[in-house]
Structure 1
Amino acid sequence: MSDESETRTVEHRPPEETFSLLADETRLAILRELSDADEPLGFSDLRARVGVRDSGKFNYHLKKLLDSFVRRDEDGYELTLAGSQVVGALLAGTYTASVSLDPIEIDGDCRECGASLVAVYEDEHAKIRCIECDTVRMSFTFPPGTIEQYDREELPLAFERWVFSEFAQATRGFCPNCSGRLDASLELNEDGHDRNRSLRNEVAYLRYHCDRCGNEMLASVDTLATNHSTVVAFLADRDIDLDDVPSWELNQILDANETEVLSSDPSRVRSTVGVGGEYIALVVDDFGEVVDVERSDDREAV
């Protein structure tokens, strides 16, 4: 039973005050050194690593970071969650990196015209698109600093694994951008979707929306289906590992991967996946939740 007298307090500092604390190279160096350390660091050890000879000057900058980005206990100094995330953003290149990447050919065909697909990085978005008709299969933000972590031929699969890790977070109700609450809805594509060219021919799509930061993620229903635990297990039992098979190659090995509308009020769709003459179908409701799972060795029975 919940305690009705329980209270929760969340205090927010002015963002301009918080981010002004980072406008100094010594303070950024403190954060980087604490991030590299395997354990809390004492004052002298931390000052030596940062390379500041003046103890008073170093102490001034360190105190500015306390409580916001750095905490101190009996073992020494270490990063707070905010401090870790600042260092993570710097390493990801979110604020500091720019990318130039030539198109990378991949083993997949465009659903629209049958031409080859390429992986590209344009306008801070990783995209899988057609070289002929420019139909975009996937488009999503990708940390620019992460690109240098992979060889060129590894990037298309890295792009996909990244977007599916964010999709998994979205399906669990958390915004990949601000970690706020994310709400899902199923929308029927009765008039043809024109905001996202990769979804314009889908009979329905999922919208994940964050009221806090306004972030949105749009996804096809078959993306939800093929990443659902029951379908992942169904495919694994048939020696298909989705970690090794990118989505643009999946249709080449499946008997079926399609979505149909069951009703419009309330919205219900069924997404069917088949391989080797066996089928599994997931029914999705208007909140983007899987409400039923059907299995059969008869395509017409699901």
Structure 2
Amino acid sequence: MSDQFVQQTEPEEAFAALSNETRLKILQVLWKSDVQTIPFSELRRTVGMRDPGQFNYHLDKLIGQFVIKTDGGYQLTQAGKHVNGAIASGMYTADGTLDPIVLNHSCQNSGDPLMLRYENETVRIGCDSCSSCPSGWEAPIPPSVFAGYDRNEIPETVSQYFRTKVQQVTNGFCPFCNGQMKPTVELVDAMDGDRSSEIEFENSNRQSLDPVVLFDCQQCGTESQVALYHALLLAEPGVASFHYENGIVVQERFIWELSELSPVKVDIESRNPIQLDVTYRAGDSTLSVVVDEAFDIIEIDT
């Protein structure tokens, strides 16, 4: 955390302030109100507590961290809004599964339809034939994302949700704490997930090695991993424009279809630090993208 910002409250104290039904109800009333600021008497009446002194005691526990006191009354801080958002998302309270959904897309290997499954807060996509489906894909997703959508809308919803998450981390913001995300390009063994930057490569296009971008949050320490090919397709305008000029609209592709747009060649120009030359092909045209270890574009050329 920079010198301009200091930790105002210890985590134990902050979470203790939320361990009371009345305080949570205060936050919920402020969250659901049609007005931004609510006077004390109206807030107490809506919460349903008769004793002003007892109500004031609970309200004081929230002021500063979750609630702001103004001349006109009380309103939520950003932290208070995030608490309500987490409750509304079902992140702490909801669970659920989906019956498998047959997608209108086929496995690149077997030709069988891809299936979308959801359980244990994870979306999994793949066919039923391959032990390691080349079109396979999985990622975590909270149950609330599906609220209000019909079953036939689920695939599009899942795809848009993860596009949003990828854009968030490539733009430098942690999906959990909004802290700064630092990207690092690494080479990962696709067979076991181990980082493999020390492997000797006889063939830089070897299928068991996947370049990935690891995004490390400098605030909470969370790590998010995105395939380098996907990150370039979704975050680098030049790559999307190249495909568009050749009749492929990347923005209209489902996220699990992006594997069909994988590069035809990856040359390792440097291993320490890593620098890769990624070549995409669309029709008769090719695009070369040179990216370094910090996920900076060194050169892009058709």
| Bin of the TM-score, shorter chain as denominator length | 0.7 to 0.9
**Aligned partner letter, 2:37:** P
Change (3 A) 1:240 1:28: farther
Match of 2:16 among 20, 28, 46: 20
Deviation of 1:64 (Å): 1.4
More displaced stretch, 130-139 vs 73-82: 130-139
**Aligned partner letter, 1:16:** E
Match of 1:35 among 24, 31, 35: 31
Unaligned runs of 5+ in 1: 1-5, 296-302
**TM-score w.r.t. length of structure 2:** 0.83
Change (3 A) 1:235 1:208: same
3-state SS of paired residue (2:253): coil
C-alpha distance in 2 between matches for 1:151 and 1:281: 41
C-alpha distance in 2 between matches for 1:289 and 1:139: 26
C-alpha distance in 1 between matches for 2:88 and 2:259: 36
Q: Match for residue 192 of structure 2?
A: 194
3-state SS of paired residue (1:103): strand
Q: 1:80-119 to 2 correspondence within 5 Å?
A: 80-119=77-116
Q: 1:47-86 to 2 correspondence within 5 Å?
A: 47-86=44-83
Q: Is the Cα contact below 8 Å between 1:221 and 1:271 reproduced in 2?
A: no
Q: Match for residue 299 of structure 1?
A: none
Change (3 A) 1:156 1:61: same
Deviation of 1:276 (Å): 4.4
**Aligned partner letter, 1:225:** L
3-state SS of paired residue (1:26): helix
Match of 1:230 among 225, 238, 243: 238
**TM-score w.r.t. length of structure 1:** 0.83
**Aligned partner letter, 2:252:** D
Match of 2:266 among 256, 260, 263: 260
3-state SS of paired residue (2:103): strand
**Aligned partner letter, 2:193:** R
Q: Is the Cα contact below 8 Å between 1:43 and 1:76 reproduced in 2?
A: yes
**Aligned partner letter, 2:75:** E
Change (3 A) 1:79 1:237: farther
3-state SS of paired residue (1:16): helix
C-alpha distance in 1 between matches for 2:156 and 2:209: 23
Q: Is the Cα contact below 8 Å between 2:264 and 2:281 reproduced in 1?
A: no
Change (3 A) 1:224 1:154: same
Percentage identity across paired residues of the two chains: 33
Q: Match for residue 280 of structure 1?
A: 287
C-alpha distance in 1 between matches for 2:42 and 2:249: 47
Residue 291 in 1 paired to residue 298 in 2? yes
C-alpha distance in 1 between matches for 2:230 and 2:3: 40
Unaligned runs of 5+ in 2: 195-206
Instruction: Count matched residues.
Output: 285
